[in-house]
Amino acid sequence: MPRPPMLRVIDWEEVLQSGQDFDGWLELAESDANHDAMLKTLSAITLEADVVQGLAALKRRVNVVAIAEDWCGDVLRHVPALQAMAEASEQLHVRFITREQYLDVFTRYLTNGGEAIPKFIFISDQFVECGNWGPMPYACRELIARGKACGDVGAARKLVSAAYDADPGLKIVVRELYALVQIASAEKERGLSSR
Q: What pLDDT does 190 receive?
A: 59
Domain ranges of the chain: 12-135+170-184
Residue 188: band (very low, low, confident or very high) from pLDDT cuts 50, 70, 90: confident
Angle at 139 between CA 175 and CA 64, to 5 degrees: 45
Q: What pLDDT does 169 receive?
A: 94
Q: Each residue of 74-113: pLDDT tens digit?
A: 999 999 999 999 999 999 999 999 999 999 999 999 988 8
Classify 12-135+170-184 by CATH class. Answer: alpha beta
Q: Are 41 and 76 in contact (CB under 8 A)?
A: yes
Q: Each residue of 18-43: pLDDT tens digit?
A: 999 999 999 999 999 999 999 999 99
Mean pLDDT over residues 123-139, rounded? 97
Q: What pLDDT does 122 receive?
A: 98
- Judged against a pLDDT cut of 80, whether residue 194 lies above it is answered with no
Average pLDDT for the chain: 93
Mean pLDDT over residues 110-124, rounded? 93
Q: What pLDDT does 2 receive?
A: 67
Mean pLDDT over residues 176-192, rounded? 86
Give the whole-number percent of the chain exceeding pLDDT 90: 88
Sheet holding 92-97, edge to edge: 92-97, 62-67, 119-123, 129-133
CB neighbours of 78 closer than 8 A, spacing ≥ 6? Answer: 118, 134, 135, 136, 170, 173
Residue 137: band (very low, low, confident or very high) from pLDDT cuts 50, 70, 90: very high
CB neighbours of 49 closer than 8 A, spacing ≥ 6? Answer: none
pTM of the predicted model as reported, rounded to 2 decimal places: 0.92
